[in-house]
Amino acid sequence: MNHMIGSLKAILETGKKLVEVRDAAARSELIVQFTRQIMDAQNVEAGLIEKIHALEQKITEFEDWKREKDRYQLEELPPGILMYRLKEGMENGEPIHKICANCYINKKKSLLHNLGTHNGLTEWKCHSCGFKESTGHFSPPPTEPDESNYFL
C-alpha cells in the first residue's frame, strides 16, 4: 500500500512540474517520466488486486473449513486413540463416519477408513497422512473344537 502512495505522490510531483515548465525539451522529458510513473502505478495496482484476490480466497477457505470442522467432535477410543467423529444432527445426508485427528490439526478433512474388526480390534486408516491404528480390546479367538472328537 505504501508503494501505491509513493507512486501517486511521484505522479503528482511530475504533474506539477509539467504545469510549471515551459521549455519544450524539458516538457517532453517530463511527459516520458509521467507516462512511466503511471504505468508503474498500474503495475502496483494490479499487484494489489492480485493480493486481495488471494486473501479473499484464503478467507473463503478458512470459513469453509470452520463450517466443516464444527460438524465434528474429538473422541478417544481405547486404548487412547484420538479421532474426530461426526456430531449427531450434522450428517447432512452423509453416513456416520470419522475423520483423522492428524489431518484435522492441519485444517484438512480426511476420512478414516474402517478396515474391519478382528478379535475385538477395529483397524483404522487415513489414506492422506498414513495414520493407522487399532482400537478396542483384544479378545482371543474362541478355540476351535477338536474335530477328532466328533465321531466318538
126 sits near Zn ion (criterion: CB under 5 A): yes
User: Can you tell me the distance from the alpha carbon of 115 to that of 138, in angstroms, rounded to the nearest whole number?
Assistant: 16
Q: Which stretch binds Zn ion (CB under 5 A): 17-25, 68-76, 84-92, 102-110?
A: 102-110
Using CB under 5 A as the binding rule, whether residue 100 contacts Zn ion is answered as yes
Query: Which of 30, 83, 99, 103 forms a contact with Zn ion (CB under 5 A)?
Result: 103
- Half-sphere exposure of 50 toward its Cβ, with a 13 Å CA cutoff? 6
Q: Inter-axis angle of helices 2-20 and 24-69, to 10 degrees?
A: 160
- Which range touches Zn ion (CB under 5 A), out of 5-13, 77-85, 99-107, 133-141? 99-107
With CB under 5 A as the contact rule, which of the stretches 24-32, 51-59, 91-99, 122-130 interacts with Zn ion? Answer: 122-130
Q: How far is CA 116 from CA 103, 112, 142, in A?
A: 21, 12, 18
Q: Is 99 in the site for Zn ion (CB under 5 A)?
A: no
Query: Which H or E run contains 125?
Result: strand 121-126
Query: At closest approach, how far in Å is the CB of 129 from Zn ion?
Result: 3
Q: Which residue from 85, 86, 89, 76 is spatially nearest to 133, judged by alpha carbons? A: 76
Rounded to the nearest whole angstrom, what is the least distance from the CB of residue 77 to Zn ion in the complex?
16
Choose which of 102, 113, 123, 136 interacts with Zn ion (CB under 5 A): 102
**81 lines the binding site for Zn ion (CB under 5 A):** no
Number of other CB atoms surrounding residue 143 within 10 Å: 6
> Which residues of this protein are in contact with Zn ion, per CB under 5 A?
100, 102-103, 110, 126, 128-129, 131
